[in-house]
Structure 1
Amino acid sequence: MNDPDVVIIGAGADGPATASRLARRHGLDVLILEGGAWHGNEKWPKPHADAGGTVSTDPDDLDGKLLDEHFTVKEAGANDPTFGYLRVGPADHSRAPWFRNIPQNAFLWQVSAVGGTTTHYFGNNPRGYPYAFDEQPHWPIDYEELVPYYQLNEAVTSTQQAPMTNKEEVFIEGATEAGYDRLDTLNVTETGWRPQPNAVEDPPDELNSNFDGSFSWDDGFRGDALAADHFQGGPTPEDAPVREKARKSSNVSWVPRALDTNTDETVGNVAIRPNAYVTDIKTDEGAGNLEATGVEFRDTWSGSTVTVEADVTVLAAGCIESPRLWLNSGLPDDGWVGKGLTTHWFDWIVGVYPDDAVEDINGEPNMDPFVGHNSAVRFDKPGVGGMEDIGMSPGLVSFANYLFSQAGYSFDVEVDPDEPWDSRGYVVGEELKRRMADYRNTKALLILTDDLPRQDNGVSLDDTFADEHGAVPELKWEPHPDDDAKRDELSRIAARIHKEAGAEHVHRCDWPPLFLHMQSSMRMGKVVDENAEAYNVDRLFVGDHSALANGIGGPNPTNSGQALALRTADRIGELYF
């Protein structure tokens, strides 16, 4: 597509939603440029070994059986940050991942690909808390403005109440015994627990413990297989077309919807080009401000550079790459570009349950955390944060439960007798083997803290190291004492829920920062205005999670990021077209 109306930088969670809305609602031609690979597209049958095609505009290019070949759901093959198919780096796997400088004990877990980090998310799709919009002093718009966009996004992504399996029933027992009521609203204003709103289709009615049929689309299987494979790409049902995969990550939901516009002469067109890493935002002098005129990108296979002109440019490269590109392009910085990053200051509270406690609740001696959605029930406390009940495959469990900590080795860490957990820190050696022997009756609660944006947290350019795309990003984040206090409060509630459900041992991991949920590094109200247009550069919009004005209170950010992107698309259409 030469000289589109709009060029969008990034095909992760938010870029495809923006593109679809611009084409369908406003009749615009849109080009999306994505630095990573495209899985499950016939033009790139071997996306990590061969350059493949150039651009895709046809929804018939999407091939679900090919996606099954690409997403094997093997844990190491998917999640290894160096060679996994879900990594941050070029599609060419003979080359190293892209380097980001993180000078602290922390871990960055993102994906560069069409679909972005939603290719390995759990599908958790709650809305942000109204409290974070209307009572915290960050947002220039009201929560009510996002509600119709939440509704649209939830319809496209099949967001619905998650089904309950054994591990969720144990959590519900603990939360109820701890005195918390069930919440029955999507717009949460009170404390309590509720089924997780998930962007995952329901399993078929006949799927139960006695099901012995095929899980193949070709044999008639529809919906979610309860395989807990979401973090490895979530390609079930087997053989299903891409758009019919149960978990509606961006590559499954918004990407096909965007490409569908090319089959309708009454709307605009959308083209998506992977392996296209944008290195510069082009500008001219405007009437007062600079004015964005397009971008320059680098083909990550050939190394050649291409310039695209467009009437409007949308930054949707994520909370790290969006500020990095802005700064590498030499655009104005008034002190907030890249700053104000929030992360939901995670922690991870593990409960190990005896067989009889599980059997008293479920009638079965095992929870089997690998059955069901990875997360299907949650706890909310607006103003503090929340938590999610988690079950995963064993490799991820051993890492998350026992091998990721800032506290030191558990045998060398004293536990305050007044705290409700029994151990804290790394678990290794024979003790790790003993803990993992209880895998079938072990599950965790992920703490999601309502950390607030602070100017000293965020992304800057490393002044000592550059790659083929310019100076690399340097990422720094430190919790404020207020954030620590919220995290401690939620961790104590989580431990109590475990104990009330009958856990015989509760372990607090005390995670270091994990950069997985990221928001607000290009904040609305600081870097962009209430339309998400840059204060200092006309016709340049930020259309990803970095535009969120804060951490939306702690809930998972995908639904809010996509809802805001849809609203931004409407503002672009109304302002310039």
Structure 2
Amino acid sequence: MRDVIVVGAGGGGPVVAKELAARGLDVLLLEAGPHYTDPRAAWTHYENDANNPLTGFLRFGPGDRDRPAWLREEPQNSFVLQASGVGGTTQHYYGNSPRAYRGVFAGYDGPDLDAYDTEHAFPFAYEELVPYYRWVEATLPVQTAPVGTKEQVFLRGAERMGIPLQTTKDTTGPSYRPQENAILQPHGTAGRTTDPSRLHHPQARGCTFCGFCQQGCMEPIRAPRNLFAKRSTDNSYVPMALTAPAWAPEGRAVTLLPDAFAVRVHTARRAGRTVATGVTWRNVATAERHREDARVVVLAGGTTETPRLWLNSGLPNPNGWVGRGYTDHFLDVVTGLFDEETGSSKGPCSNMRCDYPGNGALEQIGLPPATQAFAFAMSGSGVRGEYANGRGMTGPWDGRTGRVLGAELKDAMLNGIDRLVNILVLTGDDVEPDNRVVLSGLPVADEHGAVAKVRLDGRTRSRRTRAHREFLARRATELLRRAGARTVYRMDWSPLLLHVHSTMRMGHRAADSVLDADAQSRWVRGLYIADNSALPNSLGGPNPTLTAQALATRTAEKIFRDHFGGDPWVGRETPVPSTDPRVTRAL
């Protein structure tokens, strides 16, 4: 019997695995997708090769790309941009690591309290999570992003809006700043040349400004895996989990099983209570099924797959909230076209942001060509100027909202894409019970059981959520105008399910939450959740990964204390960075 089984090696699972392995526990880490141990041999920077949802190496599917992607049902116009494999969606995330806003936590009494979904707040105060933020920030590590040309253009517009520069990690009011990113800053020749012969480690260290964050990070050339620039978990927490004896006095190496798709969580009745006892998984390559038992089971398969596994396992759901409350930051994009070079496709993809606590956030995003065209084309308002279907809103941007196509698209992309600045709108959206994950009613199941159906009803967006999104789109337009954009486009994006949270939410009340304040199931002892689905809300708008990882660290402490009689360590010890030489040598 194992001490702990963790299901999912994405953004949260490796955090729990690494922390508990460092305390000497026997941890089995299961991942449905592949483990790319040598990305430079397996990956390219070609966008379709990487991100095609059917055949890309960063898709939700098996590592054998001759086999089909795994099925999900999406009845509305939407797109789930998530990846399987060790590292999960952090393989192609941009590394943005801001902290959540204080207003989404218990005990907040600021003057903007009514701007937040206080019915679904964290069941503890913001201050309780701060030590865990610091621990993760030091472990990854999180660093202030460097500033290039596109960032200078964004900075110029933000300065002219009259909001202050933020200089702390805590956000307390409207402000702008460079991102806090889980990307190593450039050193040596990195960021100073595009000559591949001069971008080999150790001559080049940190981010090489290749511009391909979304295709997975494998830079600098010849760097050890834990020194790749982007701190996705396959470059940070996973190497630490696998080498725990080398850097932790009591450490025990995690057993990592890729291509192991969990299909059932097992429980038993003991002393009048339902307890988690183990997991059955299917070997993706051989179709063989295996079961192993453990004292604790941690689910970290993501906001869509965790409720699917729960429901396929027949686990308790007495209040009906498993899968409910799917928040997604109600994303939108506002893009400025400039007469000057902006360097939009160069460097880390997202290095600047504006925060508007109570509404959400704006962040600059740079995109390579195919993804940029995709961003222009994904809209709920039809084609700009051609349709007025009730969502083709007008405003301070140029013309009606909608897809940029034809002559406009040609103009925007004429000289490549390096005259653009994109601003991603991250709305602080309310928890809506009818936005949810259920098991599909289609007569088609895959090898792992009934598939997930992601159901988002745009009509259920609250008035407050819609008002936040409109406020932010107008602020993004103002920023671009003040920066000197000659044309501003607003896309009115259809749901791009990139920042997703809350389908297995923790909460104050048993009536509308799945987890208690320790992230343990209310109905099954020894069953915890450590991914974005455990978040009780959308954090007010900030990117979710850092908060999910801080919460996962806290959850690991609770497991160690309550099931293994151990003492907490965050606040008493100094975290070991994932870039520590002991990790490098062990690899």
TM norm. shorter chain > 0.5: yes
Who is 2:555 aligned against? Answer: 568
Q: Does 1:112 align with 2:97?
A: no
Q: Distance in 1 between matches of 2:91 and 2:327?
A: 21
Kept in 1, the 8 Å contact 2:163–2:175? The answer is yes
Who is 1:326 aligned against? Answer: 310
| Among candidates 275, 281, 292, match of residue 291 of structure 1 | 275
Q: Distance in 2 between matches of 1:183 and 1:228?
A: 26
Q: Does 1:434 align with 2:441?
A: no
Q: Distance in 2 between matches of 1:238 and 1:110?
A: 26
Who is 2:540 aligned against? Answer: 553
List gaps (5 residues or longer) in structure 2.
109-117, 508-512, 565-587
Q: Does 1:472 align with 2:451?
A: yes
Kept in 1, the 8 Å contact 2:263–2:281? The answer is yes
Residue type at the aligned position of 1:29: D
Who is 1:180 aligned against? Answer: 163
| Among candidates 383, 391, 402, match of residue 358 of structure 2 | 383
Q: Which moved more, 1:129-138 or 1:190-199?
A: 129-138
1:250–1:144 distance in 2 versus 1, CA, 3 Å: same
1:480 deviates by: 2.6
Q: Share of identical aligned residues, percent?
A: 40
Kept in 2, the 8 Å contact 1:215–1:225? The answer is no
RMSD of equivalent CA atoms:
1.6
Who is 1:56 aligned against? Answer: none
1:445-469: CA deviation from partner (whole Å, max 9, x where unpaired) = 0000001212111111112232111
Q: Distance in 1 between matches of 2:63 and 2:195?
A: 38
Q: TM-score, normalised by structure 2?
A: 0.89
Q: Does 1:518 align with 2:500?
A: yes
| Among candidates 8, 25, 36, match of residue 10 of structure 1 | 8
Q: Distance in 2 between matches of 1:78 and 1:132?
A: 35
| Among candidates 177, 181, 187, match of residue 198 of structure 1 | 181
Q: TM-score, normalised by structure 1?
A: 0.90
1:367–1:328 distance in 2 versus 1, CA, 3 Å: same
Who is 2:489 aligned against? Answer: 507
Who is 1:55 aligned against? Answer: none
1:339 deviates by: 0.6
Q: Distance in 2 between matches of 1:206 and 1:227?
A: 13
1:477-533: CA deviation from partner (whole Å, max 9, x where unpaired) = 233332121111100000010001110000001101111101111001210111111
Matches within 5 A, 1:155-304: 155-204=138-187, 207=190, 214-218=197-201, 220-263=203-246, 266-304=250-288
Kept in 2, the 8 Å contact 1:215–1:237? The answer is no
Who is 2:335 aligned against? Answer: 350
Q: Distance in 2 between matches of 1:271 and 1:194?
A: 40
Who is 2:579 aligned against? Answer: none
Secondary structure (helix, strand or coil) at the match of 2:235 reads: coil
Kept in 2, the 8 Å contact 1:351–1:498? The answer is yes
Residue type at the aligned position of 1:468: E
1:38–1:145 distance in 2 versus 1, CA, 3 Å: same
Q: Does 1:71 align with 2:43?
A: yes
| Among candidates 279, 284, 294, match of residue 310 of structure 1 | 294
Q: Does 1:146 align with 2:129?
A: yes
Kept in 1, the 8 Å contact 2:191–2:208? The answer is no
Q: Does 1:458 align with 2:440?
A: no
Kept in 2, the 8 Å contact 1:123–1:200? The answer is yes
Q: Distance in 1 between matches of 2:134 and 2:449?
A: 39
Who is 1:127 aligned against? Answer: 99
| Among candidates 98, 101, 111, match of residue 70 of structure 2 | 98
1:426 deviates by: 1.4
List gaps (5 residues or longer) in structure 1.
41-65, 356-365
Q: Distance in 2 between matches of 1:417 and 1:521?
A: 33
Q: Distance in 2 between matches of 1:325 and 1:122?
A: 27
| Among candidates 424, 441, 444, match of residue 401 of structure 2 | 424
Q: Distance in 1 between matches of 2:356 and 2:210?
A: 29
Count of aligned pairs? 538
Q: Distance in 1 between matches of 2:274 and 2:441?
A: 25
Kept in 2, the 8 Å contact 1:386–1:449? The answer is yes
| Among candidates 358, 381, 388, match of residue 407 of structure 1 | 381
Q: Does 1:339 align with 2:311?
A: no
Q: Distance in 1 between matches of 2:52 and 2:491?
A: 21
Kept in 1, the 8 Å contact 2:11–2:87? The answer is yes
Q: Distance in 2 between matches of 1:528 and 1:269?
A: 29
